[in-house]
Amino acid sequence: MQLNSIKPAEGSKKARRRVGRGIGSGIGKTAGRGHKGQKSRSGGYHKVGFEGGQMPLQRRLPKRGFKSHLLKYNAEVSLTDLQRLGAAEVDMLTLKQAKLIGEMTKVVKIIKNGELSIKVTISGGILATAGAKAAIEAAGGSVA
């Protein structure tokens, strides 16, 4: 086999349709574009969402909502996650190694979701909701 003798498999390549090449081809003259109008002309079309000058739908509807760009740096950890983790000392590094929070996370908050029965010491600037803090302290732990 030589590089110059390689050919695609038989039937794998189909010749593209050549339009506008005479009446005998069946797709000559207007080449499937119909008669007149913007869509029949070369270069004649409009941008996506254009409604002929009428105010487009995406501009008629009101803008709503907001998504903070800081969300990717924030994370929540539940009491159930802490129970499953089973570590006595919990800080940012521990949570990142356990894949409970992302690598880019800067702010972590513990939320009261589930039960906690083990003694856990929270340190390293991790925040906790009032309910979560009470649950951690009830289990004998502390939030720094």
> Is the pTM higher than 0.75?
no
Instruction: At 88, list the tokens.
Output: 């006595």
Closest CA to 111 of 129, 123, 125: 129
pLDDT at 144: 83
pLDDT at 54: 96
pLDDT digits (tens, 9 = 90+) for 40-59: 999 988 899 999 999 999 99
CATH for 71-143?
3.100.10.10
- Give the CA angle between residues 120, 138, 79 to the nearest 5°: 50
pLDDT at 71: 87
pLDDT at 70: 85
All residue ranges of the chain with pLDDT < 50 are none
Q: How far apart are CA 123 and CA 108, in angstroms?
A: 11
pLDDT at 119: 94
Taking every pair of C-alpha atoms in the chain, what is the biggest distance, in angstroms?
A: 90
Mean pLDDT of the chain: 93
